[in-house]
Structures are given as structure tokens and as C-alpha cells.
Structure 1
Amino acid sequence: MTTPQPTTTAPRPHIGSDTDTPGNLAAYLADLVERRGWAGRAAFHQGHQFWTHGDVHELGARAAGVLAGHGVRAGDRVLLALPDGMAWVAAFLGVARLGAVAVLVNPELPAAEHAFMAEDTEAVLCVTGPGLEDRFADRARLGADQFLALAPAAEPAAAHPVNAHTPLYVQYTSGTTGRPKGVVHTHGDPKAYHDLIGRRLLGITEEDVTLSVSKLYFAYGFGNAFVFPLFSGSSAVLVDRRPNPAAVDELVARHRVTLLYSVPSAYAALVADRGSGHAACFASVRAAVSAGEGLPDGLGGQVADLLGAPVLEQIGSTEAGHAFCANSLDHNHDGTVGRPVPGFEVELRDRAGRPVPDGDEGELWVRGPTVTPGYLNRPEETERTLVGGWLATHDRARREPDGAFRHLGRTDDMEMVGGITVSPLEVEAVLRTHPAVREVAVAAVTDGRGFSRLRAFVVPVGQAGPDGRFSADGRFSADGRFSADGLEVDLVALARERLAAFKVPRSVSFVTSLPRTATGKLRRHLVRQGAW
């Protein structure tokens, strides 16, 4: 089966000369290990085991032999529904080595989404983790344990010749606004992620140890915990499930983690669990990176105090492959997502596509070496999102005098109330200043008469009752527990004090959690429904 090239309107720019870019990614990385003498260095840690860079590429070559024995050929698509671990790493390298295309999916998705992705990509083989034995019944399937058991005895497969522009993997968008779309990336993209971000902005060396809360099957985690270690000779700690704050403490201390990558909601949980002030278990951390959503005001400083290290905020997308704007160790502008990553161009445009001056709000358009050539099987979506090589990110931002961009939310975040457009982020920022509020989302919800009213959905700092619900008129008692009466009144009064009248929520609902994607992004389309 061949992989059709997505439709796009302009050729992708690339970095460097042809000699700078890899052909087959798996072969390039294996050769890099030999040239740099990294074969004996640790590459991945999981539990109390570790694998060296030499182990990883030997396993990858034999994994390719297993996949070839199951009928995988160049251009075929292989769906990987695996948790973080060596099966994921070996399967990806094996697919790359054969010149096939890896389809990276979250193993915890519902069955219907897995079925859609398998059908959408026409996957010839599905490599799956535990608990997914009943999935993909209409397709060839290989379990992770069986796959790893077969690999040591398999004959290593030769690397299939490809170029830097040959499709390597497909990742699906997070689905914050509806059905996810398959985004195509190529064999040359991972090297660009490392060269432009890992090496130039984060200064990653052989001595670094990475822990990424974001998983390998997401764009953010793929760069952090797979690409950067393999291109730098460093190592990463793999965890098959999202670690809670106690697990993060333990993993950082045990492995002497130097680079921590996470999302705002997970950083908030870390602070809530630990409180203020530096914690000794984070003594090895030299930098932390935050992406996925904007850091709420004040949280970055709290995290920096806790870790004793700078927190570098950045923004990227599945379509860009990794970050396209990022703060760095040399330039960290608090409250912004940083300046354009080297090699990327970023413009702010109005709704008509005209550039806006510095200081004005606009929509972010991005052009750069790793922007996708297009969506799989979605030529109309590709044409709408990629215009002349520029990616419409649908993010709103303002450019600061130093060239950094201040993220102002998504274009689809805006709420319409009484004919007036309201940014929920502004309202949320005010409500979040109340000490009783842990998380908050604001949306225009239709009432029983069909009118659109602003409602705040609040996760309080206190605890829910035995039934898992919060009282609608909640307040906090002296011991910090959530009990009856008053908090809604307090929050509405706070909003009235600081905001224009049309931005004040008409009601407050107390919830135990907010609807988020697996990457931690808020699903605003579900918040607007008023229930999830």
C-alpha cells in the first residue's frame, strides 16, 4: 500500500543542505550513535531497568524484522496504540526502518475513535498495548508483549531508502473542537525539532535526563522524550501512565532528572500537592517547559520557586510537529510563549488576512521547516488551513516589543453574549485569583428560554462530598473543606468589581473536574454544553 501525499499549496521550506538532513530516520540515528560513541550510554529508563542507545537501535532493527514478517512494507501504515515504553520505541524505529508510516494514537481512546483512526489510515497492522485485545478485530494485530518477545530472535531488517520529505508518521489533532484530523510528518522533521529547539533553545547535552508528563503519542511528548534524547545522546524516563505529583517527585529524585516537561494543569497539581517554596527532590532540575495551554497568572512563578529552576513557556501544534514559539534559557519573558523558534516565521493577521501592527491583537500564522504538508485524506481542510505554505493556527496573540508573543487564547474560545464578543480567558483570570478556586472555565451556556448566559464552572480547592458532588451554594470551612453557602456570591461579586457588567457570569457551577483532552487542553465545546 502506498501513502498518498496530502494536498498542499506550496513546497515546505527546509533547514540546511541535503547533507544536513537524514534519509531514513532509523538508519540515521543508528549511524549517529556509532559516530558519536553513544552506544554504551543510557537512552531510556523505565522502572528499575534501562536501555542504552546501542540496545535501542539493535532492538529497532530487529523489530523491523518482526514487522516485515507480519507483512509490513514501505508506504504501509502501522497503527501504534501503545503506552510509553520500549515496545513503543522499538515499534516506531522498526516502522521507520521499513519506510512504512507509524500512526501514533493514544491507547486510552474509546473504541470508536480507535476504529475511526484505523479506518482513516487504512492501517495494515495494529500494534497494541494491554487491554486492547478486542480492538481492531477486522485488522491484523500484534500485542506489545508478543512483539517484544519476537524481536530478540528476529533477523535485523535493512533500512529502506527514503528522503527527508518521505512521510514518517501520522498524529491526530487533539479534537478540542470536534473530530480529530490526521497530520502527516516526514523523516526530516525530527532532526529539525532537535536542532532548532532541543539543541539551540534548551541546550540539551549527553548529560541531560528528561521526564515528560506528556506522552510519546502526542506531538509535545514525542519531541521531548523520543526525539531529543536520541539526537543528543541523553536519556529519558518513560512512564506508562501519567504520573501524579508524588510519582513526579520520586522519579525526578531517583533519576536525577534535569529537564521536566509538563502542562499547566499538571504543574498546578504539583504546586497544590507540595505548597510553596523549593523542594529538595527537585535539586537536579535545571529547567522546566510548559506547553499545551497558557500558564495562569502567577503559576509560573510558583512552579519556578518549587523547582528552583526557570519555567519556559512555549506554544506549538500537531501541525507544526513541535513548538513554533518558545522561551529559552537565554530569553525567558514571563507571561509570553516566547519568540519564534529559529527557522520559523510568525505573523499576526486580522480576519481579512492583513498584518496587524505590534501591540494589536491578531491571529497567529506560522511558516517553517516542520509545518505539515497536509492532513491525511482531507484536501479541503488542508487547503483551508495551509495557505501559500502558511499555517493558520487559530490562536490569538499580541506581539510584545522584544518580539515575544503573548497568547490570548483560541479564535474558537470567544463567547458571544447578548451580541457582544467576550474572551472567557479574561473572566477566568479574575475568578482564578480567589483563593478557593483551583480551576475555572467560563462559557456562554443557553438557558431554558434559549438565551445565552455566561456561566463559570469552578473546581474548588476543597473536597467534594461523599457523592462526589459539590453543594451549589458552596463555601469553605476553617479546615479548608468545601461545605455549604456563599462562594458563588463571592465569585460574582469579585467579577463585578473587576470586569465590565456584560463580562460577569450570571451563575456558577461547582464541578469536580473540567473536561480536558489527554494533553491537558480544555474542551471548550463541551464546556459550552453545560455538562460533560
Structure 2
Amino acid sequence: MTPPTSAPSPAGTAAPGSAETAEATRTAEAAEATEGGNLAAALASLAERRGWIDRPAFHQDHRSWTHGEVHDLASRAAGVLAGHGVRPGDRVLLALPDSLAWVTAFLATARLGAIAVLVNPELTAADHAFMADDAGADLCVTGPGLEERFAGRTRLGADLLLALTHGAPPATGAHPAGPRTPLYLQYTSGTTGTPKGVVHCHGDPGTYHELIGERLLRVTPDDVTLSVSKLFFAYGFGNTFAFPLFSGSSAVLVDRRPSPATVDELVARHRVTLLYSVPSAYAALVADRADRHAACFASVRAAVSAGEGMPAGLGERVTELLGAPVLEQIGSTEAGHAFCANSVDDNTPGTVGRPVPGFDLELRDRAGCPAPDGTEGELFVRGPTLTPGYLNLPEETERVLAGGWLATRDRALRTADGTYRVLGRTDDMELVGGITVSPLEVEAVLRRHPAVREVAVASATDERGASALRAYVVIGVSSTAAPTFAATRADLQTSLMALAREHLAAFKVPRTIHVVPSLPRTPTGKLRRHLVRRGAW
């Protein structure tokens, strides 16, 4: 299956020297760089033409690297990888935390015409073994302590890669590539089963930036990014890799999921302007503000949220803390990044905004017919960066990408003003006593309690075979709620049960409420509802 080409730049003319002309020039250069050949070489050329060589590109710990340094290191690292046998078309698995080594290894792999396989270094050994086998990895570049997981394959530790790179000569060129040449593989989060390898191409990252980073977020060379979501995820890849390298801006690299206190410190130290995260991490950020100061967020101009729907009221609390708007969006690994999003110029809280330019969205009812505005349907999408298919899964590719439309398995509705509201997953509905119930409705009621930070509801069958709803809550007592609430489990369960009975029909009231330390989530922050149903995590 052939991947689609990058979306065309917007038509129209502008007066010479105008802001519109400058923006059109930047867009045209980015598109030309991407479509003209190998992504790594195109990015290096773009940085030189735009005068970004001496501008910071990445910050980690107390060190920064310029765009020029990054592209020089990548060129040298390409020779190191070639010396380890990497050839065009080979698969190079990157099991690395966010770091300069990750960026260097990815760009070096791209320069050689090989295909980067992006995996979460915190997965289990079994997951890593599956992905290495499924992708047919020829070389595995690993973070600390992971080398033995890939025994039997050619391996290279990240520290050794960087050490060898500093003494290696720059590569003399880059392997020819076009926008449809495969560039990298990312695996789906596995919320519904075994992760699937998703193919993306050399033309895709430039399109992510053109359509989202540039048009919707207005990323400029002066921006500084901090993304809680990591480089090995679709959302984090666009935020931390594509947008900075295509805009001449910089990003903060964090090798593990940052705590709220770490986010505070990094934003203040680096004067972060764009913060990207997921709802559960934003909830943790605002959970306890007793010893936190909003002044450290003074530099933030926008916060972006993806991964799951933002619970009612959370966006307002995040905006109050940051002093900046929260822009919700929705995307997928198959699309590479967002396909529906709010923007800095057009933000409708409580929605995921409008279709990203170049993408078409369609809502279909159970019969497969278009769903009218205001009516719930399953969300389908097509667009310029949609994957050409799943690795080694032709039948799954045909089923999920029938006719060029991706079946997202999200339930949504289109409002009268053209924005979209996501209502949950198609497999989120629960059957209780023969009646279909949306757990999101029950969760929204329980989340009103000031002591509840997170909640998940699912149907379970008891020993008699009868189905009933169970609720699992994570306590996160805010500084304002603490004086008025005695946070004992018995008090909380009684209070929540009373809240549910007051606002829900009797058959929607959970039979039991359990206080738990955490909910089962994928590494991208998505709820694993199938585990909630079993009460097993």
C-alpha cells in the first residue's frame, strides 16, 4: 500500500515583505525540504538555510545542544551505525529514554535510509522481544540495563554510540529518499490487544509541523517545548522532535515521566512556552497547589492535551494554574499525530476542536451511514499522514483502513459550530442487567467529589452471574478540599455512593466503590478499561 503524499501548502498570495509572505516561505521551505529527499539531510539543510545552526535545539539536565551540533552528531553517528552493519532498509530498534542519544540515533538511522523502530524502554522484556521479532530488528540501540533483552541481535548501547560518534568523521551524504519512503515504525498502545506496528514515511514529520505545529500552534524559533508524552509515542514525537527541528525552536528532554514538582522546575528553568501533556498528568499537576506557585508558569503561552478526553472542569483548573489556554486535540498512532484539534486562534473548551487542515472526518452510525450533527457516531478519518498500513498484518490493515478511511473506534459527535466532542471508545459501553450504560456518565458524577482525582467505572459479573457496575477511585485531595473532608475510605465510599444516588438512575449507581492507589493505564496515559472490568492490575 502506498502512503499518501504531504498535504499541499495553502493557496493564495500575499504582499512582498508581509507576515503572510514570511509564513508562506517557511511553509514552502519545510515542504520542499521534506519532499526533496531524506528527512535527516533535509532538516540539516533547512537549519543552515534558516540560520538556526547556533540556536538551541535540545536541553537536557544542565546542558544544551544547538541545531548545528545535533545535525553534526547525527551525521557522524550515521557512520557509526553503518560500521555496525546498518544498510538502507534495515530496521534499527531504539529502546531509549528521551535523550540526545535518541535524537541522534533516529536522525542517523534516517540518514542511512534505514527504518527506526520506536519502542518504549519501560516495556516488559516480553514486549521488547515481541517488537524486535515482529519488526525484524537488525540492530538494537538500547538504554542502560536493556542490552541483555536483545541477546542474539546486534546491539549498541546509547552511551557507546555517543562516545564513538564524537570521534567519528561526518558522513559524506544521505541515502536518497522521498516522502513515501518508509522512515519509522511505532507500535500502537495495545488498549485493545496486541500492539501493531504502524509505518510512517519521510514526508510525514514535515507535514505534522506544517499542519499542526505551524498552522495551529504557531510554533516559532523562540518557543521552548516540554512534552510529558515521550518521543517514542506519536504525540510526543511531533511535539519534541518534528516541531522544534522544523521551526528552529528548542525542546526540553526528560528521560522519565516528570513529577508535578519536576514540571514546575523545568518550566521555570527553561522558560517553557508550550506544555504538552495528558489529562491524568494535568490532574496530578493541579491536585495539590498548597506549596506551588503559579508564577513559575508565567512563560507558558499554551498547554496542549491529548491521549484521552479532558474531564469536565479540569481544563479550567489547568488554565487557572498556568495562566494559559488548554488546547485539546485527538490523534492516533495511525495518523502520526493529531487529526482534530483546537488552535491558539480558535479554541473551544470541552471539544477537540476542528479537523486539522488536510484531514477529513466522518461520523457513521451503526449502519455505516453518516450521522447528523448533534448525533453520536463512530469517528472515521482520512488525511495526508495516515499510515500505509500495519507491519505484517495485511488483513488488519484492510479492516481498519478500508477505503483509505481509518476506523478510530472513538465515539464522537459534531456540534452545530463544526467542532467535535469525543464521547469515549466504541468498546467503552458497559452492559448492566441487559441495559447499555456509558461509564463516562457515571465517572463524571463521581469526579465531582473534591477528593477524587481519577475514577474508572466498569461492569463486572458476580458469582451468581449477575452484572453490576464497580467504581475505582484515586484520591487526590486538593488544598481547598482538605479542611472540609476527612479522607477515610469509609467516609469517601459513603459520600460517593450518596452522590451517585442523587444524580444517577438506580441502575447506573455502582454496586461497589473501591479506593485504589492508581488506575491501569497504557504508557501513553490511556485507560485500560479491559483490566478495570476484571479488577486486575
User: Could you say if the C-alpha distance between residues 275 and 394 of structure 1 is closer, same or farther in structure 2, counting changes exceeding 3 Å?
Assistant: farther
Say whether residues 1:101 and 2:115 are aligned partners. Answer: yes
Q: Which amino acid aligns with 2:498?
A: A
1:520 aligns with 525
| Distance across 1 between alignment mates of 2:497 and 2:392 | 47
Q: Cα RMSD (Å) of the superposition?
A: 1.7
Say whether residues 1:30 and 2:44 are aligned partners. Answer: yes
| Distance across 1 between alignment mates of 2:49 and 2:214 | 18
| Contact map agreement 2:451 2:487 (CA 8 A) in 1 | no
2:22 aligns with none
| Contact map agreement 1:276 1:306 (CA 8 A) in 2 | no
Q: Which amino acid aligns with 2:166?
A: P
Say whether residues 1:16 and 2:16 are aligned partners. Answer: no
| Distance across 2 between alignment mates of 1:75 and 1:232 | 28
Q: Which amino acid aligns with 1:206?
A: P
Runs of 4+ aligned structure 1 residues displaced above 6 Å come to none
1:448 aligns with 463
| Contact map agreement 2:351 2:420 (CA 8 A) in 1 | yes
| Contact map agreement 1:278 1:305 (CA 8 A) in 2 | no
Say whether residues 1:268 and 2:268 are aligned partners. Answer: no
User: Could you say if the C-alpha distance between residues 276 and 397 of structure 1 is closer, same or farther in structure 2, counting changes exceeding 3 Å?
Assistant: farther
Deviates more, 1:363-372 or 1:477-486: 477-486
Of 54, 59, 71, the match for 1:45: 59
Deviations 1:254-285 (A, max 9, x none): 10000000111111111013259970000000
2:167 aligns with 153
1:61 aligns with 75
| Distance across 2 between alignment mates of 1:484 and 1:260 | 34
Can you give the 5+ residue segments of structure 1 that lack an aligned partner in the other structure?
1-6, 464-475
Secondary structure at the aligned position of 2:217 is classed as coil
User: Could you say if the C-alpha distance between residues 30 and 477 of structure 1 is closer, same or farther in structure 2, counting changes exceeding 3 Å?
Assistant: closer
2:496 aligns with 491
| Distance across 2 between alignment mates of 1:382 and 1:209 | 37
Say whether residues 1:375 and 2:390 are aligned partners. Answer: yes
Secondary structure at the aligned position of 2:235 is classed as helix
User: Could you say if the C-alpha distance between residues 278 and 301 of structure 1 is closer, same or farther in structure 2, counting changes exceeding 3 Å?
Assistant: farther
Of 105, 114, 119, the match for 2:133: 119
Q: Which amino acid aligns with 1:491?
A: L
Deviates more, 1:132-141 or 1:368-377: 132-141
User: Could you say if the C-alpha distance between residues 496 and 508 of structure 1 is closer, same or farther in structure 2, counting changes exceeding 3 Å?
Assistant: same
| Distance across 2 between alignment mates of 1:484 and 1:286 | 39
User: Could you say if the C-alpha distance between residues 108 and 300 of structure 1 is closer, same or farther in structure 2, counting changes exceeding 3 Å?
Assistant: same
Secondary structure at the aligned position of 1:44 is classed as strand
Deviation, 1:519, is: 1.1
| Distance across 2 between alignment mates of 1:324 and 1:276 | 38
| Contact map agreement 2:288 2:477 (CA 8 A) in 1 | no
Normalising to structure 1: TM-score of the pair? 0.94
| Distance across 2 between alignment mates of 1:197 and 1:420 | 41
| Contact map agreement 2:91 2:117 (CA 8 A) in 1 | yes
2:324 aligns with 309
1:458 aligns with 473
Instruction: Report which of the two has the higher share of helix.
Output: 2
| Contact map agreement 1:22 1:188 (CA 8 A) in 2 | no
2:17 aligns with none
Deviation, 1:485, is: 2.3
Of 418, 432, 445, the match for 1:417: 432
1:529 aligns with 534
Identity between Structure 1 and Structure 2 (%): 74
Q: Which amino acid aligns with 2:217?
A: L
Say whether residues 1:128 and 2:142 are aligned partners. Answer: yes
| Distance across 2 between alignment mates of 1:510 and 1:477 | 17
Of 280, 284, 288, the match for 2:303: 288
| Contact map agreement 1:278 1:307 (CA 8 A) in 2 | no
1:230 aligns with 245
Of 389, 409, 414, the match for 1:399: 414
User: Could you say if the C-alpha distance between residues 529 and 22 of structure 1 is closer, same or farther in structure 2, counting changes exceeding 3 Å?
Assistant: farther
Deviation, 1:155, is: 2.8
1:505 aligns with 510
| Distance across 1 between alignment mates of 2:128 and 2:497 | 42
Deviations 1:436-455 (A, max 9, x none): 21110000012112222110
User: Could you say if the C-alpha distance between residues 306 and 499 of structure 1 is closer, same or farther in structure 2, counting changes exceeding 3 Å?
Assistant: same
1:167-206 maps to which residues of 2 (within 5 A)? 167-206=182-221
Of 340, 344, 348, the match for 1:333: 348
| Distance across 2 between alignment mates of 1:493 and 1:280 | 38
User: Could you say if the C-alpha distance between residues 13 and 226 of structure 1 is closer, same or farther in structure 2, counting changes exceeding 3 Å?
Assistant: closer
